[in-house]
């Protein structure tokens, strides 16, 4: 008799877990960062769009933010985004693995040499966001930050 109760309990737990996972993936928009394309890390400066890092308007209220990470900074170090803009962040690195976390949001990417990682997000609140490197990348790791201003 008890086996039956535990079996129901187990299946119940599994169901709750899958529901939570499903809600978090689809309703809240949590998504694993995806590798879009490969890039030669030694030629980042010559490869569009990373030869001109920054914010580019791609449509009505849609933007691309192309950023380059290198020890121990991001380029650009500061960017202004209009409130309500849907921004696709593309990031790559010129040297080692870095992190790209936007504090207080669900943006958290790993930046690997040779790859471009992307994340799309709509910024609908004004304010300042800090970008942090959360992968240890060397002596200046703790100073590696940038800033997004939503205006
Ligand atoms: Cu870049 Cu830690």
pLDDT tens over the chain, length 151 residues: 788 888 888 888 888 888 887 777 666 555 555 556 889 999 999 999 999 999 999 999 999 999 999 999 999 999 999 999 999 999 999 999 999 999 999 999 999 999 999 999 999 999 999 999 999 999 999 999 999 999 9
The rounded Å distance from CA 127 to ligand 1 centre is: 24
124 CA → ligand 1 middle, Å: 28
Nearest to 40 by CA among 28, 25, 51: 51
CATH architecture of 34-150: Sandwich (2.60)
List the residue whose alpha carbon is closest to atom 1 of ligand 1. Answer: 98
- Cα–Cα separations (whole angstroms), residue 11 to 3, 7, 16, 20, 97: 12, 6, 9, 14, 40
Question: Using the 8-state DSSP alphabet, how is residue 23 labeled?
Answer: I
Q: What's the Cα-to-Cα distance from 18 to each of 8, 14, 22, rounded to whole Å?
A: 15, 6, 6
Residue 68 in contact with residue 93, Cβ under 8 Å? yes
Contact call for residues 111 and 69 (beta carbons, < 8 A): yes
| CA-71 nearest atom, ligand 1 | 1
Which atom from ligand 1 is nearest to the alpha carbon of 144? 1
Residues with CB under 6 A from ligand 1: 72, 98-99, 133, 135-137, 141, 144
CA–CA distance, 85 with 4 (Å, rounded to integer): 53
Question: Does ipTM come in above 0.90?
Answer: yes
Q: How far is the CA of 130 from the centre of ligand 1 (A)?
A: 14
Task: Give the residue extent of every domain in the chain.
Answer: 1-30, 34-150
Taking the centre of ligand 1 as the mean of its atom positions, its distance from the CA of residue 18, in whole angstroms, is: 34
């Amino acid at each position: 008799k008890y086996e039956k109760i535990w079996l129901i309990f187990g299946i119940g737990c599994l169901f709750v877990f899958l529901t939570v996972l499903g809600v978090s993936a689809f309703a809240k928009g949590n998504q694993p960062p995806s590798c879009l394309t490969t890039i030669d890390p030694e030629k980042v400066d010559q490869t569009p769009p990373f030869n001109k890092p920054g914010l580019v308007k791609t449509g009505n209220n849609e933007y691309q933010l192309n950023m380059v990470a290198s020890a121990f900074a991001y380029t650009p170090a500061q960017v202004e985004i209009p409130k309500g803009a849907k921004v696709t962040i593309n990031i790559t690195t010129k040297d080692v693995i870095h992190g790209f976390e936007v504090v207080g949001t669900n943006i958290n990417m790993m930046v690997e040499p040779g790859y471009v990682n992307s994340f799309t997000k709509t910024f609908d609140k004004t304010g300042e966001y800090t970008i942090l490197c959360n992968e240890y990348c060397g002596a200046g790791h703790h100073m590696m930050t940038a800033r997004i201003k939503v205006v």
